[in-house]
Amino acid sequence: MAEPQRERPRVAVVFGGRSSEHAISCATAAGVLAALDRSQWDVVPVGVTPTGHWVLAEDDPARWSIREGAPLPEVGPGDGPGVVVPVATDDRALRVSEPGRPPRELGDVDVVLPLLHGPYGEDGTLQGLLELGDVRYAGSGVLASALSMDKGFTRTVLAAAGLPVGPWVTLLAHQWEADRAACEQRVAALGWPVFVKPSRAGSSMGVSKVAGPAELAAAVELAASHDPKVVVEAAVASPRELEVGVLEELVQGAGGRVRPEPRASVVGEVVVGAGRDFYDFEAKYLDDGAVRLDSPADLPAGVADRARALALEVFAAVGAEGLARVDLFLDADGQLLVNEVNTMPGFTASSMFPRLWAASGLAYPQLLDRVLRLALARPTGLR
């Protein structure tokens, strides 16, 4: 299919969605809408309601921001006319559908920036829809997105690749219901404390630190309210939480062929303040004084280089594309362990991923431009 000939490529910024991270996705979109260079990109904001309706959303960053004292942002069915997404390989046009009116075309979309976090967006489902329509999009494909969203399977793949991960167990809802005692024994074998998490959620939604057996059931039930698949991880002794951004760069290889090559950012550190056991949802998004994000992190000699190398290995092991944020633990013995992979990390100007790249010399607007240019250069279909 021929490349579009418009002066400015049209990018659909898709956000909101059906997961518990809906508001975080809206906040990410607010940052992106404010920073995208409109002289370079024709921007179409598309919101997805919590029930899955796609609407032509307001192009107003303030409308989608998280603000102290205000309700969390949410895309509603009344926020704009409905949007019909193309699913045929010879049709890339978005269409607006309004009651009592004939559908009207918004025009072809050149690339989608999928800013949905969590299930039904970051987990390969949206990526699969875009693949059906032969539409270019930023970030990882179906397999890497689905794999990285599932904390249990991520660890299984990383362990098989010989990369360092801590001990964990996965509990399925039917296992917990059928034989709770056996599940409790598997968890107890990890030692206490443990962290109990929904396997396919992010932003620390539904995460609990469990000090002993008496607290386990409540923590599992909380995690299961977000996802019937629960991961329980052994706590790391005196951990330092490190984060590395990975971003592909187009380089010219042998024969003049251009190919993407991943690069690692400087290493950042999440420093949780007194009064909090871990980096939970409130610390991330609602309490400005709860954490400090250091980029670059102040680390012993050699640790940053090891962390950056490990992040690139993780990126390759899960088959990521475009961008990712790799979260690591540095334990009391100086060993690095992989915590998780985020194929669509938080993308506000103050989020860790953009801050890591700003500290690496790539400012926020240029980072967004790089992500979209990578997506435009990537072929659709099997690759």
Which residues are within 8 A (CB) of 262 and not within 5 positions of it... i.e. 6 or more apart? 246, 247, 248, 249, 312, 315, 316, 320
**Is 39 one of the annotated active-site residues of the chain?**
no
Segments in the chain forming alpha helices (H): 22-35, 125-132, 142-149, 151-160, 173-178, 180-188, 216-224, 281-285, 303-317, 352-359, 364-377
Question: Does residue 203 have a pLDDT over 70?
Answer: no
**Is 203 one of the annotated active-site residues of the chain?**
yes
CB 328 within 8 A of CB 244: yes
Domain boundary among 187, 213, 234: 234
Asked whether residue 338 falls in the same domain as residue 242, the answer is yes
383 occurs within a structural domain: no
Asked whether residue 154 falls in the same domain as residue 257, the answer is yes
38 occurs within a structural domain: yes
5 occurs within a structural domain: no
**Choosing from 285, 295, 322, 378, which is the catalytic residue?**
285
pLDDT value at residue 20: 86
Asked whether residue 155 falls in the same domain as residue 178, the answer is no
If you write DSSP's letter for every residue of 45-62 in order, what string do you get?
A: EEEE-TTS-EEE----GG
Q: How does the average pLDDT of the chain come out, rounded?
A: 91
Asked whether residue 113 falls in the same domain as residue 192, the answer is no
**Is 78 one of the annotated active-site residues of the chain?**
no
| CA dist., res. 349 & res. 369, Å (int) | 14
CA 96 to chain centre: 28
3 occurs within a structural domain: no
- Domain residue limits at 252: 148-163+238-377
Asked whether residue 324 falls in the same domain as residue 358, the answer is yes
pTM of the model: 0.90
Q: Which of 173, 287, 166, 137 is nearest to 235 (CA)?
A: 166
pLDDT value at residue 100: 66
For residue 380, list its beta bridge partners.
none
Name the most confidently modeled range: 7-11, 293-297, 325-329.
Answer: 325-329
**Choosing from 140, 145, 342, 351, which is the catalytic residue?**
342
**Is 321 one of the annotated active-site residues of the chain?**
no
Question: Does residue 13 have a pLDDT over 90?
Answer: yes
Domain boundary among 184, 201, 234: 234
Question: Does residue 121 have a pLDDT over 50?
Answer: yes
What is the CATH classification number for the domain harbouring 90?
Answer: 3.40.50.20
Give me the number of domains the chain comprises. 3
Asked whether residue 156 falls in the same domain as residue 254, the answer is yes
For residue 108, list its beta bridge partners.
93
pLDDT value at residue 286: 46
Q: How many CB atoms lie within 10 A of CB 306?
A: 16
Asked whether residue 131 falls in the same domain as residue 70, the answer is yes
**Choosing from 346, 351, 370, 378, which is the catalytic residue?**
346
pLDDT tens-digit readout, 59-117: 999 999 998 888 999 999 999 999 988 777 777 778 887 776 766 777 789 999 999 99
210 occurs within a structural domain: yes
SS3 of residue 174 by DSSP? helix
What is the CATH classification number for the domain harbouring 242?
Answer: 3.30.470.20
CA 20 to chain centre: 13
Task: Write out the two tokens for 245.
Answer: 């951004």
pLDDT tens-digit readout, 260-289: 999 999 999 999 875 556 554 454 444 456
User: At 154, phi and psi to the nearest 5?
Assistant: -55, -45
Asked whether residue 224 falls in the same domain as residue 248, the answer is no
**Choosing from 10, 308, 325, 378, which is the catalytic residue?**
325
What is the CATH classification number for the domain harbouring 207?
Answer: 3.30.1490.20
CA 174 to chain centre: 28
**Is 177 one of the annotated active-site residues of the chain?**
no
CA 310 to chain centre: 19
280 occurs within a structural domain: yes
Asked whether residue 268 falls in the same domain as residue 365, the answer is yes
Asked whether residue 260 falls in the same domain as residue 351, the answer is yes
Asked whether residue 203 falls in the same domain as residue 219, the answer is yes
Domain boundary among 234, 257, 286: 234
**Is 21 one of the annotated active-site residues of the chain?**
yes
Please report, as a single letter, which amino acid is at residue 98. E
**Is 327 one of the annotated active-site residues of the chain?**
yes
**Choosing from 327, 339, 351, 364, which is the catalytic residue?**
327
**Choosing from 21, 227, 233, 248, which is the catalytic residue?**
21
Asked whether residue 154 falls in the same domain as residue 288, the answer is yes
SS3 of residue 224 by DSSP? helix
b/e burial code for range 121-133 (CB count within 10 A of at least 16 → b): bbbbbbbebbbeb
**Is 221 one of the annotated active-site residues of the chain?**
no
Question: Does residue 367 have a pLDDT over 80?
Answer: yes
222 occurs within a structural domain: yes
pLDDT value at residue 95: 83
pLDDT value at residue 275: 57
